[in-house]
A = this chain, B = another copy of it.
Amino acid sequence: MITINDIAEMAGVSRTTVSRVINSTGYVSEKARKRVMDVIEETGYVPSQHAKSLRTKETKIIGVILPKISTDTSSRTVNGMNSVFEGIGYQILLTTTDLERQKEIEHLRLLQNRQVDGIILIATNVDQALMDEIKTSKVPVVVVGQEMSGVPSVIFDDHAAARRMTELLIEKGRRSIGYIGVDEADRSVGVQRKAGYLEAMAQHGIEVEDAWLETGDFSIESGYEAASRMLEASSRKVDAVFAATDRMGLGAWRYIRRHGYDIPGDIAIVGIGASETSRFIEPALTTIEYEYEQAGSVAARTMMQLLQGEKGVSEKKVLDFKLVERDSI
């Protein structure tokens, strides 16, 4: 392997000078610069990142922790981050937790040992242990998807989105609206969205039956099963189903269709996420569009501010949503 010493020797200068040429720092005469450049060109030399990082304590690598890789949400968010990092020479070290919660902490540690410059965590919960780990982190952490006090986070206004969606259903004349949520360890998806739904219902004086409240685990199958339980159990038949995520909505949609109900004639169905599939099914799913790409790029930019030591980086960035009304309603 060719090193800075080789270059120095070939160019007839010291390695100090070579270093200066590479990093364009300090004083270097035009002649020396040219000679060094030529040799570098010729040999195709590239400096060792390790040696460099060892001294500078910088890696230009950002660790990203995802709950799952194969979902619209994740890939679009990563896409957004990538668009920012790419231009400025940073790269992404990816890890996934497969929705196992304790792995978030594990990976947080792992990435620090890899000495990444910063960590972006797409969080699914706000456990105390997780927050502690984040707060004692040696490198800056930006959280996406969950609000975490004291930690810069990028979030969507889940509460308002769910309320707005519920109101839309009510405006359309639906009264018996079932809700398929997720575990409440997930503050954003589990708690906020449900709260928005409940608030809208309460505001319109609609009493929510226990049988209308179901829980899934983000998967299509769990949506299917939740819908099945809901439709079989409730005494006041639901005339609308609000799924906290499009994937679960898709499952519910499937169940409803398969069991001979008309959408939206008998039952309306809505989700959140604006997944690709939601556009293509017929009737197309009414949903909330979140700009995941934007979430990614905002998180990336926040990270850069943190790295550049800017203070007063706002702790919380709330992104907007868009209601996408389609045929399922």
Contacts and interface: CB of A to CB of B under 8 A. Distances in A.
A27 interface: no
A69 B70 CA distance: 10
A46 interface: yes
A49 B116 CA distance: 10
A19 interface: no
Interface string A242-276: 00000000100010000000000000000000001
Contacts of A51: 50, 54
Identical copies in the complex: 2
Contacts of A48: 54, 115
A305 interface: no
A92 B94 CA distance: 6
Contacts of A54: 48, 50-51, 54
A61 B111 CA distance: 12
A227 to B, nearest CB: 15
A127 interface: no
Contact of A91 (B114, B254, B280): B114
Interface string A100-113: 00000000011011
A228 interface: no
A76 interface: yes
A115 B48 CA distance: 8
A70 B76 contact: yes
Chain A: interface size category: 35 or more
B69 A79 contact: yes
A234 interface: no
A277 interface: yes
Interface in A20-75: 46-51, 53-54, 59, 61, 69-72, 74-75
A93 interface: yes
A78 interface: yes
A94 B96 contact: no
A91 B179 CA distance: 39
Contact of A69 (B75, B95, B114, B282): B75
Contacts of A69: 75, 78-79, 82
A206 to B, nearest CB: 30
Nearest to A85: B95
A307 interface: no
A54 B110 CA distance: 19
A75 to B, nearest CB: 4
A281 interface: yes
A154 to B, nearest CB: 18
A275 B138 CA distance: 41
Nearest to A279: B277
13 contacts: A1-B138, A46-B112, A48-B54, A49-B115, A50-B59, A69-B79, A69-B82, A79-B96, A82-B94, A92-B93, A92-B94, A93-B94, A280-B281
Given A48-B54, A70-B72, A92-B95, 15 more contacts: A46-B113, A47-B113, A49-B114, A50-B51, A50-B53, A50-B54, A51-B54, A61-B114, A70-B79, A78-B94, A91-B93, A91-B95, A277-B277, A281-B282, A282-B282
